[in-house]
């Protein structure tokens, strides 16, 4: 039982940018990179352990119930997938099913997610649900005649904000945003609109309008941007970002030496978004910097974070 440092899986899509390559030093056989799956045991892109006994093995191959923690037992598998996303262009207008509306016979999985705005261009925005309640018929008509953009809720974003997107909410990340996404361990997405774009071969990406209609929440959504009060210690400030049945997501600003503890209830995940330092336990000492992903197994016990940095912390309550 020791702390894992993880190598992400990179994905390139039609809307990807180049910040993951140029700023984070991540490697991909492409000029652009859309997503880095920094904490993943998903079959479509498991992260690789780069240190210690399990070096070179993927996270899904070594994960045990003890490493996940008691609070994860209700899910029957590792519950979280964390990504860094660079939107060089607008993402498709899309929706994800909930655990209840997903068609398990087709391999669909529920997906609630939260977005931490790590950086953004001036005036950058995202799409978050509808401005007002809408009927299915009204939505279908607005998509067919191209007026749907008048129905959706556009939100200007700022660095450091967090947005919680419950399953069933129509949404899209727009151009010029670098964010960290914590989500259920799912890769189920239903695209409604993709700006009629084509790939390098002239092909449009598949849309899934019918399934989207079946899982969409047509009510005006309350925008959820934060939860709870800050916790301040001598060397850190922990700011709650999003809390739901699937995860507890926080920003941790560390300046100095902070002693922490991983008990049997849950693993702890960190993504470093600024600064550098170390994370240490009795078994290991790991140098960490911007873009790194760290997995602390449940029941590890005491560990220490040293340095000046901003980390995003995820666990399961």
pLDDT at residue 106, rounded to an integer: 93
DSSP one-letter string for the chain: --PEEEEPEEE--TTBBSHHHHTT----SSS-B-EEEEE---TT---EE-SSTTTT-BHHHH--HHHH-GGGGGGTS--EEEEEEEESSPPPEEE---TTTS-GGGT-----EEEEEEEE-TT-EEEEEESS---HHHHHHHHHTT-GGGTEEEEE--TT-EEEE-TT--EEEPSSEEEEEEEES----EEEE-TT---TTSPPPPP-HHHHHHH---SPPPPB---S--EE-SSEEEEEEEE-SS-EEEEEEEEEEEEEEE-TT--EEEEEEEEEEEEE-SS-EEEEETT-EEEE-TT-EEEEEEEEEEEEEEE--
Mean pLDDT along residues 221-236: 86
pLDDT at residue 260, rounded to an integer: 98
Burial 255-274 (b: 16+ CB within 10 A, else e): eeebebebeeebbbbbbbbe
Indicate which residues carry an active-site annotation: 191
> Going from the N-terminus, what domains does the chain have, and what CATH number goes with each?
4-215 (2.60.120.10), 231-315 (2.60.120.10)
Instruction: Band the pLDDT of 226: cuts 50, 70, 90.
Output: low
Mean pLDDT along residues 8-16: 96
> Could you read off the pLDDT of 139-157 as tens digits, one per residue?
989 888 888 889 999 999 9
- pTM higher than the cut 0.85: yes
Mean pLDDT lowest among 6-15, 83-92, 219-228: 219-228
């Amino acid at each position: 039982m020791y702390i894992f440092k993880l190598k992400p899986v990179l994905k390139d899509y039609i809307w990807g940018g180049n910040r993951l390559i140029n700023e984070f030093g991540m490697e991909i056989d492409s000029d652009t990179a859309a997503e880095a799956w920094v904490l993943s045991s998903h079959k479509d892109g498991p992260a690789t352990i780069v240190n210690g006994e399990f070096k070179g093995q993927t996270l899904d191959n070594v994960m045990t119930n003890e490493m996940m923690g008691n609070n994860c037992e209700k899910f029957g598998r590792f519950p979280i997938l964390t990504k860094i996303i660079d939107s060089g262009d607008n993402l498709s207008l899309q929706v994800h099913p909930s655990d209840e509306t997903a068609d398990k016979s087709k391999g669909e999985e529920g997906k609630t997610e939260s977005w931490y705005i790590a950086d953004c261009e001036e005036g950058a925005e995202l799409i978050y649900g509808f401005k007002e309640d809408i009927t299915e018929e009204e939505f279908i008509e607005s998509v067919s005649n191209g007026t749907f953009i008048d129905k959706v809720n556009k939100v200007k974003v700022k660095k450091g904000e967090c947005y919680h997107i419950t399953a069933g909410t129509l949404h899209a990340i727009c151009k010029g945003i670098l964010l960290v996404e914590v989500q259920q361990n799912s890769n189920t997405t239903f695209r409604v609109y993709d700006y009629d774009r084509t790939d390098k071969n002239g092909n449009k990406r598949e849309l899934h309008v019918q399934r989207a209609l079946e899982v969409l929440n047509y009510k005006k959504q309350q925008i959820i941007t934060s939860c709870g009060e800050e916790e301040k210690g001598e060397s850190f400030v922990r700011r709650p970002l999003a809390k739901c049945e699937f995860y507890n997501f926080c920003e941790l600003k560390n300046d100095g030496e902070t002693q922490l503890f991983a008990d049997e209830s849950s693993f702890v995940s960190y993504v470093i978004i600024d600064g550098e330092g170390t994370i240490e336990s009795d078994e290991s000492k790991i140098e960490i910097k911007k873009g790194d992903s760290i997995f602390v197994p449940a029941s590890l016990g005491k560990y220490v974070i040293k340095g000046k940095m901003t980390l995003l912390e995820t666990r399961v309550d």
